[in-house]
Amino acid sequence: MVKKLLLLNGPNLNLLGTREPAVYGSSSLADIEQAAQAQVAAAGAELSCFQSNHEGALIDRIHAARAEGIAAIVINPGGLTHTSVALRDAFAAVQIPFVEVHISNVHQREAFRHHSFLSALAVGTICGLGTDGYRYAIDFALKKR
């Protein structure tokens, strides 16, 4: 069976490449998704990508992932990382392994970014490695049984 992965991006990440390049780099979300598609296809697997500025839409996508047989999720939850019990509950409900990615090093930033509601449920987290973090997370997800 073909392995299926899901790449999720939360609020404001549709703005990547347009503002704050010193913090978030110069790649657009389309660049990141295209590179991820190529990486996953080269491994003979399948990738779906989804970005939303709406918490409920992300939760609905996570619920649908279970029925689709998604093996693992890579997510940058954006600001919802630090606020969303509901997103955490969605991951707890579907029991799909996920990797949490942050482009910036949240621990070098404001104190409110130091806590994540998701990290304790994640298989692992990557932060501060720029947009390369997505590639490392997908590489891990492809290898994970």
Using CB under 6 A, list all residues that contact ligand CA2: 12-13, 15-16, 19-20, 24, 76, 78-79, 81, 102-104, 106, 113
Shortest distance, CB of residue 49 to ligand CA2, whole angstroms?
16
Strand positions, DSSP E, the chain: 4-9, 46-51, 72-76, 98-102, 124-127
CB nearer ligand CA2, residue 66 or residue 107: 107
CB nearer ligand CA2, residue 59 or residue 71: 59
Catalytic residues: 24, 102
CB nearer ligand CA2, residue 48 or residue 84: 84
> What are 102's strand-pairing partners?
127
Give Cβ neighbours of residue 56 (< 8 Å, ≥ 6 apart): none
Shortest distance, CB of residue 106 to ligand CA2, whole angstroms?
5
User: Cα-Cα-Cα-Cα dihedral of 55, 143, 48, 20, to 10°?
Assistant: 60
* Residue with token string 């996920």: 98
Shortest distance, CB of residue 137 to ligand CA2, whole angstroms?
12
